[in-house]
């Protein structure tokens, strides 16, 4: 079987793991997996929905498998006794007519039980099929069978795959294609199951044995698979020939030795499992040496920083140049060359640069070429910061490697161009914590009323560690309800650093940082870049040349990094840790249990327990103050302007002078002062205990835990002082409140009004040149809003040039902008009815493939309830971004179905690419102005009579430009942008929006005329 492994394996997967996966199909065909190759029944069910209480079976399929061959089938439709929903019928192609004469669930299950007998059952997501087949009395006997979950096996044995859905496993390994019918899914699962057995058989045996030891089959039936392969230490005799085809590094050979003569961890005795050994085995060939700091070069009179020449940049973007050789059909673009030249000039002049480059310019390669050349010629690290993980991955795993390959062709003797991604602490697994979790063993947790074992999640995590160098866990398919992220990751404050046994190359966080320090190009996200600035450096290597891509989102991320807050949920969580009666949760009681005072004198031991007792007493006082303070925040709901309405659950409130003078706020401030006083006493207790533990053996983890609490408390003290007692003019102050009395979601914040001032003190003062790039930075041809917000041109550190480059695509030809002239304004009573009619007519005229972008969830759902049934009668599918619906799932479905249309919210306004016929039209019902009650807008309005025009209007214009950018993603894309907000015609600022759009092909027409044009264009 030949699959498409490289398309489905995660970027950054080590080559040895890719080789291991690539051999699995062939190995599975020839191997014998003992009891798991004998009398196995693979099962799948289709149902009317996902509710175990309300939905019912529509089809059951099962196949008996022996030695890899299907030797018997059981397939039947099932009459659910209720209509099959339209979306389910569309997915499964099972309709009411198919099940009309089918047996009832009880009848079908009786037949299934007879077919299955005592065989082991295999299902993909076994809990689902097991529940639906055993909820009727006739299916009860199946509760006695062993149920193996192929989804568990896939997540554990193949953690480096992007997806473990059955259809994606099929595509990965070239198994029979699944069509969402139960019989097809069973055939696919039969093929995939043996590949998964092969994958388990080729995992390091000590790891398999450890996974088997995590749980018993009673709590996790799939444990039986790992138990079997753990008992078969090494490739069985019958599988030796099959195993001989595996890559040498991955073949299991108990006699293999490492280059140092030591037995490799991966092939050692089964009781040899250790996370340290696991990491050493994976990383033993990796060596990272930090680059030179560009500041050291700049300050050395004997050396100078060397930049690529203008001629070299010019040559790079010719058909026969560096970039031209990257692409088979490269066409030189003047705009791309101009941008790259400007970036080169900004570096050479130590200036900052703001670039708006339209779609199709190729801005990533435009800044990468001068960045890469500058890095390599000076042996320094340069940086790129992006807003989205999608672009981060595109740069790290696609564009920079392509550029590296082109550079290697030009000069085979030069050092290869290197690139490394880097994110914050919480994105990486903490090996110290994970070792502790694994040593404690799997626990049974209650999730949505069901008791589930942690074992599958723990096994997948440890397997991921074995198959990974330094990648983050963002793409790891883990059930965080069972294994909360906070217990397997750490923070900067919690990290033990040099006191941790994994510190250095073994550690994911610090190893990733060492790799970043040694790379030519570091790629990170906006969040980590600005958090590094707020923390006075230390989170990132010293980088003096930055390209900040997707820069339209930089101000918001910078403000978030420099904000201060008092979060009720976090405060109460800390309070519980400090005062809990359960000694496992109370940090001071935990210290008493974990710290062993070897050879301690009596007075020393007495002092230790006296310090922990002081901590407990201070912790209890803090808890009482914390609960009183957090409860008092609900009182601020008195100032909610819509408190009598049925508005949203969460309320944002601007804390102005009038509120500060009120008795209600005075109560909050008074309780905040009490919180601060108890926090200060608790800080002293923590500091004394931390000092005592400094030289105590094996106390580092406890010491750091208490020290991190002290750091958190210091931040709380500072926040209370600034937000409640002495508010500074540099901040706008807000309260986030929850209307539900039984839910804690309150938060007080101080938001920097002028982020630019902070950036002048940090980012610009510590760099030589920063390039800001985006497709949407200018408003009406001017950059004033962006440069002012980002503090550019405001000090000696922030000189700036601005450039605007039009798209390389012909927007005027390919995008028609329609402005609806006869629709009522949004606050008019007739607006919603007119909008709904327009949406129905436009979708019918276009025949689907439309994206409607709303600013308000309630309006979106109201429109959907009206529009969807009317389109359904025309066989047009429309879906909606409702609560709980997966954004990724909606994106995937939209891209897979050229005729599907979508109603969506903020997450689809930017960063969503649907090229070609998938997207033919974008509708924006309402201009995306910030809410009038937005605290930052209110504060700005208080200080500036023209604040709305200076801040709110530009932000809305940029959002509309982002939304318009969804439509044309390739040179041959065409489509219509429909703006259904009459204010574009009736208000003076309407011209600002229209003048800022990439297309000047703008038509102001009645709704009926627009619909007629869409219809005519489709038929043309």
Measure CA of the first residue to CA of the last residue in the chain; give whole Å.
44
3-state secondary structure of 191: helix
Which stretches of 757-814 are assigned E, i.e. beta strand? 769-774, 800-805
Give the residue ranges of DSSP H helices in 470-564.
Answer: 508-518, 526-534, 554-562
Question: Which helix (H) or strand (E) segment is 156 a member of?
Answer: helix 150-157
The DSSP letter of residue 908 is G
For the cut 90, the answer to whether the pLDDT of residue 125 exceeds it is: yes
- Segment 746-769 shows an average pLDDT of 96
User: Residue 250 — pLDDT band, cuts 50, 70, 90?
Assistant: very low
- As a three-state string, the secondary structure of 301-327 is CCCCCCCCCHHHHHHHCCCCCCCHHHC
What does the pLDDT read at residue 435? Answer: 93
What is the pLDDT, as a whole number, of residue 809? 85
Range with lowest mean pLDDT among 59-68, 199-208, 911-920: 911-920
Least Cα distance to 73 among 32, 108, 34, 116 occurs for 116
What confidence tens digit (pLDDT) does each residue in 580-599 have?
777 777 888 888 888 876 65
The H or E element that residue 437 is part of is helix 431-440
Whole-number Å distance between alpha carbons of 195 and 169: 10
pLDDT at 603 over 80: no
Mean pLDDT on 26-37: 91
Note the Cα 439 to chain centre separation in Å: 29
pLDDT, position 235: 47
Q: DSSP label at 42?
A: E
pLDDT for res 645: 58
Q: pLDDT tens for residues 802-815?
A: 999 888 888 899 99
- More confident call, 657 vs 910: 657
Q: State the pLDDT confidence band at 887, using cuts at 50, 70 and 90.
A: confident
Q: Is residue 51 very low, low, confident or very high in pLDDT (cuts 50, 70, 90)?
A: confident
Instruction: Answer whether residue 466 shows pLDDT above 80.
Output: yes
Is the model more confident about 138 or about 178?
138
Residue 383 to residue 421: CA distance in whole angstroms: 10
Q: What percent of the chain has pLDDT over 90?
A: 69
For 902-957, write each residue's pLDDT tens digit.
Answer: 999 988 888 787 777 788 999 999 999 998 889 999 999 999 999 999 999 999 99
Q: Which residue has tokens 């009891």?
A: 35
pLDDT of 241: 47
Burial code of 347-379, b = ≥16 C-beta within 10 A, e = fewer?
Answer: bbeebbbbbbbbbbbbbbbbbbbbbbbbbbebe
Query: Is pLDDT of 265 > 50?
Result: no
Model confidence band, residue 882 (pLDDT cutoffs 50, 70, 90): confident
Per the CB < 8 A criterion, the answer to whether 44 and 185 are in contact is yes
pLDDT digits (tens, 9 = 90+) for 474-512: 889 888 999 999 999 998 888 888 889 999 899 999 999
Would you state the structure tokens that stand for residue 59, as one six-digit string? 């089809």
Instruction: Please tell me the distance from the alpha carbon of residue 350 to that of residue 344, in angstroms, as a whole number.
Output: 10
For 118, list phi and psi in degrees, rounded to 5.
-100, 10
* 729: helix, strand or coil: coil
d(CA 371, CA 547): 8
702 vs 345, residue with greater confidence:
345
- Report whether pLDDT(963) > 50: yes
Answer whether 740's CB lies under 8 Å from 776's CB: no
Burial of residue 266 (CB within 10 Å: 0-12, 13-18, 19+) is buried
**Region 392-408: what's the mean pLDDT?**
93
CA distance 752 to 635: 25
Compute the distance between CA of residue 116 and CA of residue 118 in angstroms, rounded to an integer.
6
The mean pLDDT of 734-758, rounded to a whole number, is 93
> What integer is the mean pLDDT of 32-55?
91
pLDDT tens-place string over residues 1005-1017: 999 999 999 999 8
Residue pair 99/79 in contact (Cβ under 8 Å)? The answer is: yes
Q: What is the pLDDT of residue 257?
A: 33
Res. 180: pLDDT tops 70: no
Query: pLDDT for 609-643, tens place per residue?
Result: 899 999 999 999 999 999 999 999 999 999 988 76
Average pLDDT, stretch 415-420?
A: 95
Give me 947's structure tokens: 């604040």
At residue 325, the pLDDT reads 86
Q: Interhelix angle for 587-594 vs 700-720, to 10°?
A: 160
The per-residue pLDDT for 248 is 40
Distance CA 214, CA 458 (A): 8
**If you average pLDDT over residues 833-853, what whole number do you get?**
94
- Which one-letter DSSP state was computed for residue 380? B
Judged against a pLDDT cut of 80, whether residue 234 lies above it is answered with no
* pLDDT tens-digit map of 971-1018: 888 899 999 999 999 999 999 999 999 999 999 999 999 999 999 988
Mean pLDDT, the chain, rounded, equals 90
What is the distance between the alpha carbons of residues 780 and 784, in angstroms, rounded to a whole number?
A: 10
At a CB cut-off of 8 Å and minimum separation 6, what does 246 contact? 20, 23, 27, 202
pLDDT, residue 75, reads: 95
């Amino acid at each position: 079987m030949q699959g498409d492994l490289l398309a489905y394996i995660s970027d950054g997967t080590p080559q040895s793991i890719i080789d291991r996966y690539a051999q699995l199909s062939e190995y599975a065909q020839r191997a014998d997996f003992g009891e798991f190759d004998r009398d196995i029944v693979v099962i799948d069910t289709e149902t009317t929905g996902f509710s175990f209480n309300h939905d019912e079976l529509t089809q059951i399929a099962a196949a008996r498998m022996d030695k890899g061959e299907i030797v018997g089938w059981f397939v039947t439709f099932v009459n659910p006794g209720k209509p099959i929903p339209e979306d389910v019928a569309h997915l499964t192609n099972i309709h009411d007519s198919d099940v009309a004469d089918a047996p009832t669930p009880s009848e079908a299950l009786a037949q299934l039980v007879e077919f299955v007998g005592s065989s082991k059952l295999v299902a993909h997501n076994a809990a689902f099929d097991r529940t639906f087949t055993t909820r009727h009395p006739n299916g009860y006997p199946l509760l006695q069978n062993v149920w193996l979950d192929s989804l568990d096996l896939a997540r554990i044995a193949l953690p480096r795959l992007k997806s473990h859905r059955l259809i994606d496993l099929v595509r990965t390994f070239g198994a029979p294609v699944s069509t969402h019918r139960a019989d097809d899914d069973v055939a696919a699962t039969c093929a995939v199951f043996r590949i998964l057995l092969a994958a388990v058989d080729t995992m390091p045996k000590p790891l398999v044995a450890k996974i088997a030891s995590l749980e018993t089959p009673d709590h996790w039936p799939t444990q039986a698979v790992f138990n079997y392969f753990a008992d078969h230490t090494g490739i069985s005799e019958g599988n030796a020939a099959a195993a001989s085809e595996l890559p040498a590094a991955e073949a299991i050979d108990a006699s293999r030795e490492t280059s140092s003569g030591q037995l490799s961890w991966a092939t050692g005795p089964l009781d040899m499992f250790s996370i340290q050994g696991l990491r050493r085995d994976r990383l033993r060939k990796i060596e990272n040496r930090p680059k030179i700091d560009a500041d050291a070069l700049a300050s050395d009179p004997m050396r100078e920083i060397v930049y690529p020449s203008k001629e070299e940049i010019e040559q790079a973007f010719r058909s026969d140049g560096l970039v031209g050789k990257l692409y088979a059909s490269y066409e030189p673009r003047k705009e791309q060359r101009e941008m790259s030249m400007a970036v080169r000039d900004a570096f050479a002049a130590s200036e900052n640069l703001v670039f708006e480059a339209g779609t199709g310019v190729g801005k990533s390669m435009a800044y990468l070429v001068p960045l890469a050349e500058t890095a390599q010629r000076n042996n320094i690290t340069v940086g790129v910061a992006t807003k989205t993980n999608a672009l981060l991955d595109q740069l790290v795993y696609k564009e920079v490697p392509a550029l590296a390959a082109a550079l290697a062709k030009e000069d085979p003797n030069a050092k290869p161009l290197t690139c490394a991604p880097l994110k914050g602490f919480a994105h990486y697994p903490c090996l110290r914590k994970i070792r502790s979790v694994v040593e404690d063993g799997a626990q049974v947790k209650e999730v949505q009323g069901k008791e589930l074992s942690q074992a599958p999640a723990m096994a997948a995590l440890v397997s991921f560690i074995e198959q990974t160098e330094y990648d983050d866990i963002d793409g790891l398919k883990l059930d965080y309800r069972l294994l909360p992220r906070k217990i397997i990751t750490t923070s900067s404050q919690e990290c033990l650093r040099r006191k941790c046994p994994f510190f250095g190359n073994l550690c994911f966080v610090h190893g990733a940082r060492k790799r970043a320090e040694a790379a030519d190009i570091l790629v990170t996200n906006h969040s980590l870049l600005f958090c590094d600035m707020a923390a006075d450096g230390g989170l990132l290597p010293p980088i003096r040349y930055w390209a900040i891509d997707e820069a339209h989102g930089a101000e918001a991320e910078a403000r978030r990094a420099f904000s201060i807050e008092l979060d009720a949920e976090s405060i109460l969580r800390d309070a519980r840790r400090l005062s809990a009666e359960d000694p496992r949760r109370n940090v001071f009681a935990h210290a008493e249990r974990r710290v062993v005072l070897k050879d301690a004198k009596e007075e020393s031991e007495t002092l230790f327990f006296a310090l922990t007792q002081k901590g407990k007493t201070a912790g209890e006082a803090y808890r009482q103050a914390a609960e009183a303070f957090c409860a008092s925040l609900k009182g601020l709901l008195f100032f909610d302007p819509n408190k009598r309405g049925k508005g949203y659950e969460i309320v944002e409130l601007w804390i102005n002078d009038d509120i500060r003078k009120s008795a209600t706020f005075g109560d909050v401030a008074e309780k905040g002062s009490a919180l601060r006083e108890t926090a200060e006493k608790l800080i002293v207790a923590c500091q004394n205990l931390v000092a005592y533990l400094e030289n105590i053996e094996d106390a580092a983890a406890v010491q750091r835990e208490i020290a991190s609490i002290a750091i958190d408390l210091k931040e709380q003290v500072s926040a209370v002082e600034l937000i409640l007692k002495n508010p500074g003019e540099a901040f706008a102050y807000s309260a986030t409140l929850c209307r539900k009395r039984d839910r804690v979601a309150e938060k007080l914040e101080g938001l920097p009004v002028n982020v630019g001032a902070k950036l002048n003190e940090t980012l610009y003062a510590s760099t030589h040149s920063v390039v800001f790039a985006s497709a949407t930075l200018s408003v009406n041809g001017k950059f004033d809003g962006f440069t002012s917000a980002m503090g550019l041109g405001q000090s000696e550190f922030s000189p700036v040039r601005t450039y605007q480059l039009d798209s390389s695509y012909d927007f005027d030809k390919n995008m028609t902008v329609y402005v609806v002239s006869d629709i009522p304004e949004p606050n008019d009573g007739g607006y919603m009815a007119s909008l709904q009619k327009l949406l129905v007519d436009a979708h019918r005229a276009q025949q689907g493939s439309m994206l409607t972008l709303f600013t308000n969830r309630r309006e979106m759902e109201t429109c959907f309830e009206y529009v969807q049934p009317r389109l359904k009668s025309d066989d047009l599918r429309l879906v909606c971004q409702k609560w709980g619906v997966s954004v990724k799932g909606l994106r995937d479905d939209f891209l897979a179905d050229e005729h599907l249309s979508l109603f969506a919210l903020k997450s689809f306004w930017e960063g969503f690419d649907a090229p070609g016929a998938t997207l033919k039209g974008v509708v924006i019902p309402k201009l995306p102005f910030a809410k009038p009650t937005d605290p930052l807008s209110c504060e700005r309005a208080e200080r500036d009579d023209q604040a709305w025009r200076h801040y709110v209007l530009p932000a809305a214009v940029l959002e509309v430009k982002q939304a318009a950018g969804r439509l044309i993603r390739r040179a041959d894309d065409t489509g219509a942008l429909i703006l259904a907000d009459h204010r574009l015609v009736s208000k003076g600022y309407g011209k600002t929006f229209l003048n800022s759009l990439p297309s000047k092909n703008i038509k102001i027409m009645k709704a009926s005329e627009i619909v007629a044009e869409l219809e005519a264009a489709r038929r043309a």
